[in-house]
Amino acid sequence: MLKINNLHVEVAGKEIIKGLSLEIKAGETHAIMGLNGAGKSTLANTIAGRDDYEVTAGSIEFEGKYLMELEPHERVAAGLFLGFQYPVEIPGVSNLNFMRTALNSVRKQHGEEDMSAAEFMKLIREKAKMLGMDPDMLKRFVNVGFSGGEKKRNEMVQMAVLNPKLAVLDETDSGLDIDALKTVADGINVQRRDDTAVLLITHYQRLLSYVQPDFVHVMIDGKIVKSGGKELALELEEKGYADVA
Amino acid sequence: MYDELTKSYQAQSDSLLGIVPGTDGIRTQALADFLSKGFPTKKTEDWRYSDLKALTASAFEMAGSDADPEVPAALSETAARFVFVNGRYRESLSDMGELWQAASVRPLVNHFTASEDRAGELVRGQDAIGLLNTALLRDGMVISVPTGVEIDDPVEIIHIMTGADAQAAHTRHLIELGEAAKLHIVERFIGDGSSYWTNSVLQARITEGGKLAHTRLQEEGANAVHTAKAHITVGAEGSYQACNLSLGGKIARFEAHVRLLSEECVAYVDGVALASTGQSHDTLTHVSHTQPHTNSDQIFRTVADARGKTSFQGKVTVDKDAQKVEADQSFKALVMDRTAEANAKPELEIFADDVKCSHGATVGELDAKAIFYLTSRGIDPVTARQMLVSAFTAEALERVENDSVRAEMTERVDAWMAKRADV
Ligand SMILES: Nc1ncnc2c1ncn2[C@@H]1O[C@H](COP(=O)(O)OP(=O)(O)O)[C@@H](O)[C@H]1O
Ligand SMILES: [Mg+2]
């Protein structure tokens, strides 16, 4: 599904991703772990198509397409979703309007009709309920005045509505209390199917006890230095990054 | 200095003597003032951001026309629609509705016949633009809403300019609200590609408890110069709520002069200006608090595209005895390109000590992070920008109470963004 080959990425003239390769197949859940500054968010944002992140070498293939040839919104239509580490506040745009425009934009790119307002309301209410989001928050401006945890839940509602093939979730667990973490984990687990894949980015082991990954990768200084099964996460927790790598 | 020009305006003004009974005196005075003052220059503080070359190069002849232009559809249900073609009231295109049953409505020409004193109500004007409007006024609407009468649906005044190269229309509307009366005036300005000048003044007297909403939709033709002034006085517990959407013209300027004359009255003066390439949109507001417990709030949002320009000068004055005044002002400009320009100059003159005044002015670009966030959810970049601009301007349109008028304004903001993406 996703094939990253020898990826190099520069941000503001500085190389952050320094030759990273990774393959994710349908039905798999992967976790990338690494300390702050390792380049995890840079990788996630590059996959999503942030235009100030420059790919200087290597490639990212997604479902047989070269991602670098697609604009961010086209990547979403192809089935990609990025859950942001720091979701953006958008004053003046309601959450409902945002999600409905997003869903209909993807449908349009697939040559489908807009979803009716009634059908959309039913869908969004159902997803908000599943992820424990207060329905009143749907009417509020996107992420404005949301707590850290509420923002992360909002990301998960967006993911559920868009139903992507590959979800890249950047530190979705940070800022969540234990109850919220369980709800969010349930939301992620619903998204794990034979025809989908999930890439979790985290620097804690915590989330991984609720969403058990098939593979764990350790990232240091822009590269994956070690890969293994889910036991690698526990080993990291015990011994620290320095020893494991 | 402008010999030809002043001769022409003198002749035009003279030709109007006796035409609008009662106005000869003030017309002559205004012309004399204009002749001695001349046009403002860039050194005139109130005109520092305005380029008046289009007006000072040569005189604009008096417009007038028999053309039968198409009248645009109403923005909402209306109580009446008054159409002016090239500055002249056109009864055949207007629709009196039922307004005449509830209020007194008549064209300006007949207004002063009864008594010359009424001409004293006319604001003479301070600068060349205002003075010329008085010296050359020819037509307008006079609407007077009696005590306690509330007109719910908007009254549209539609100014249409057509085939008017080097011609000008100087309209003057007079609005009067009796105690606790209510009225919503929607002024619309449209025109063809000719290089005309619209110079319009609306003056309103809002007496105790009166509520006037004044919405302006400025969609002049691409080569037009648009100058307009609102002169408003508000009495006790009265309110004036203005919103100006400035879209058209090559050079456009709107001034709102609001005097809060008695306790517990309020002024909301808002506006949105969208400057496309080569356009200049100016706004000047002067809200004057002369009495205690008077409030004002102003929200302006402007967007300027490549080589477009928006300017805002907002003056608030609070007199010495006007305690417990609250006056707020917020101006935000978006520049969509490095060659776009946005100017802001808030000005507070406060002589009372117990007042709460705030003002903020910011100029910025669309938030790249927000665009990425929207596009990372599947929204194309054009729609993403449109959503952000729509959100940015919404605050300044919010106080337009009539849902359908407000929706039409919002649609025009979206259409502006959509058109911009096409080029
Ligand atoms: N927009 C940016 N401009 C400059 N440097 C950046 C930018 N984004 C990230 N970096 C730098 O890239 C490195 C990796 O950051 P990041 O990808 O956020 O790491 P992680 O998510 O693993 O904590 C850090 O040194 C950070 O300072
Ligand atoms: Mg990060």
Quick one: pLDDT band at residue B212, thresholds 50, 70, 90?
very high
Does the Cβ of A222 fall within 6 Å of ligand 1?
no
Range of the domain at B394: 367-423
Largest CA-CA distance found in chain A, in angstroms, rounded? 55
pLDDT at residue B117 above 80? Answer: no
What is the Å distance from ligand 2's center to A202 Cα?
8
Name the residue among B198, B172, B303 with its Cα closest to residue B250.
B198
Among A228, A239, A245, CA closest to A31: A228
Q: Rounded to whole angstroms, how far apart are CA atoms B206 and B302?
A: 29
- B375/A52 touch (CB, cutoff 8 Å), yes or no: no
B362 lies in some domain = no
Distance (angstroms) between ligand 2 centre and the Cα of B374 equals 19
Tokens 């890969």 correspond to A227
pLDDT of B234 higher than 90: yes
Gap from CA of A19 to ligand 1 centroid (Å): 16
Q: Is A121 on the interface with B (CB under 8 A)?
A: no
Residue B115 lies in a domain: yes
Mutate to test the pocket of ligand 1, among A9, A16, A170 (most ligand atoms within 8 A of CB): A16
Point out the least confidently predicted range of A154-168, B113-127, B388-402: B113-127
Number of domains in chain B: 2
The predicted pLDDT at position B31 comes to 97
This complex has an ipTM of 0.97
Flag whether B196 is in a domain.
yes
- Residue A34 beta carbon below 6 angstroms from any ligand 1 atom: yes
Distance (Å) from CA A37 to ligand 2 centroid: 7
Residue B382 lies in a domain: yes
In this predicted structure, which of B46-55, B109-118, B254-263 has the lowest mean pLDDT? B109-118
Domain boundaries, chain A: 30-38+72-244
> Does A84 contact chain B (CB < 8 Å)?
yes
Boundary residue ending a domain (B233, B262, B291)? B262
Mean predicted confidence (pLDDT) in B187-216: 98
- Domain A30-38+72-244 architecture: 3-Layer(aba) Sandwich (3.40)
Q: Determine whether the shortest distance from the Cβ of A13 to ligand 1 is under 6 A.
A: no
Shared-domain flag, residues B40 and B183: yes
Q: Residue B408: which of B247, B226, B224, B202 has the closest Cα?
A: B247
User: Are residues B111 and B232 both part of a single domain?
Assistant: yes
What average pLDDT is seen over chain A? 94
What is the number of the ligand 1 atom nearest to the C-alpha of A44?
17
Pairing type for strands B295-304 and B88-89 reads: unpaired
Band of residue B21 on the pLDDT scale cut at 50, 70, 90:
confident
Find tokens 């709800």 and name the residue.
Answer: A183
Q: Strand ranges (DSSP E) for A12-94? A: 14-24, 29-33, 53-62, 65-66, 80-83, 90-94
Q: Do B377 and A92 touch (CB under 8 A)?
A: no
- CA distance linking residue B93 with residue B8, whole number of Å: 31
Residues of B within 8 A of A48 (CB-CB) are 372, 376
Residue B86 falls inside a structural domain: yes
At A24-83, the pLDDT tens digits run 999 999 999 999 999 999 999 999 999 999 999 999 999 999 999 999 999 999 999 999
Q: Residue A73: list chain B partners with CB under 8 A.
A: 375-381
Q: What is the DSSP letter of A85?
A: S
Q: Are residues B116 and B235 in the same domain?
A: yes
Please determine, for residue B1, whether its predicted confidence score (pLDDT) is greater than 60: no
Contact residues on chain B for A97, CB-CB shorter than 8 A? 387
Q: Is residue B193 part of a domain?
A: yes
Longest dimension (CA), chain B: 68
How far B410 CA lies from chain A's nearest CA (Å)? Answer: 13
Q: Is residue B345 part of a domain?
A: no
Q: Is residue B391 part of a domain?
A: yes
Is the CB of A218 inside 8 Å of chain B's CB atoms? no
C-alpha distance across the termini of chain A, in Å: 27
* Per-residue pLDDT tens digits for B74-106: 999 999 999 999 999 999 999 999 899 999 998
pLDDT given at position B118: 77
Residues of B with Cβ-Cβ distance to A92 under 8 angstroms: 388, 390-392, 394-395
Give the ligand at the shortest distance from the Cα of A33.
1
Q: What is the average pLDDT across B139-161?
A: 97
What is the structure's pLDDT at A236? 87
Please give the residue that has the higher pLDDT: either A106 or A237. A106
The CB of A37 under 6 Å from ligand 1? The reply is yes
CA of A45 to the centre of ligand 2 (A): 10
- CB-closest option in B370, B383, B395 to A88: B370
